[in-house]
Amino acid sequence: MKTILLSILTIFLFGCNDSNFQNGDIIFQTSLSSQSKAIQLATQSKYSHMGIIYKDGDETYVYEAVQPVKLTPLEKWIDRGKDNHFVVKRLKNHNEILTSNVLKKMKVIGEKFKGKDYDLYFEWSDERIYCSELVWKIYKEAANIEIGNLQRIMEFDLSHPVIQEKIKERYGAKLPKEELVISPGEMFNSEMLFTVYSN
């Protein structure tokens, strides 16, 4: 009942109609997870979680890397974010790039990550996977597009005490400073995307 009410409120208060969303759209939110603040501070971005829109008939889902990687109904996904705020973005040249064959390929590639554990260590491997890594790799492998630039952990500002606490908790004294990462903020700011919807 709660998700139905949320969906109705979203449509009538914010003008959101998920029929305007398309397969392959990228959706962003501010997570309420324990690590969200550290991600926001390190990346200097409001957004700390993201996924890909998947449509199945009249139903809209978000394919996301949580624990584990899975499809989540859009209403439930929105409900998990801070203040139910979210932004949907799309490739500027989506009509040329996201053909039906590419979209099918994206889903096939996405399937290989389904059920994998969430990557708390932000490693650039396929053993475990985090949210922006999932989206980036699906686009890279299916459409040969790199949305946002990969960065090394040492390039972020890690000085804040909240971040230092997370580093100590997860890495101890062995922070992999050279590890490649892609952040939600880097993808959100990509000039390859335009905003479809924001509340």
Residue 162: pLDDT band with limits 50, 70, 90 = very high
Contacts of 193 (CB under 8 A, 6+ apart): 26, 89, 90, 91, 92, 147, 187
What span, in angstroms and rounded, lies between the C-alpha atoms of 199 and 188? 15
Average pLDDT of the chain is: 91
Kindly report the CATH number assigned to the domain that includes residue 59.
3.90.1720.10
Which tens digits make up the pLDDT trace of 78-96?
Answer: 999 999 999 999 999 999 9
Q: What gap in Å lies between CA 73 and CA 179, rounded to an integer?
A: 32
Confidence at residue 16, expressed as pLDDT on a 0 to 100 scale: 56
Q: How far apart are CA 66 and CA 53, in angstroms?
A: 15
Residue 178, domain extent: 2-198
Q: How many domains, in total, are found in the chain?
A: 1
User: Average pLDDT, stretch 135-150?
Assistant: 97
Amino acid 10: pLDDT: 43
Question: What is the value of pTM for the model shown?
Answer: 0.90
Cα–Cα distance list, 83 to 6, 88, 106 (Å): 12, 16, 30
161: left (phi over 0), alpha (psi -120 to 50) or beta: alpha
* Structure letter (DSSP) for residue 153: G
Residue 13 clears pLDDT 50, i.e. is over it: no
Q: Could you tell me where the beta strands, DSSP code E, fall in the chain?
A: 26-29, 49-56, 59-65, 69-73, 87-91, 151-152, 180-181, 193-198
pLDDT reading at 193 higher than 50: yes
102-142 tens-digit pLDDT: 999 999 999 999 999 999 999 999 999 999 999 999 999 99
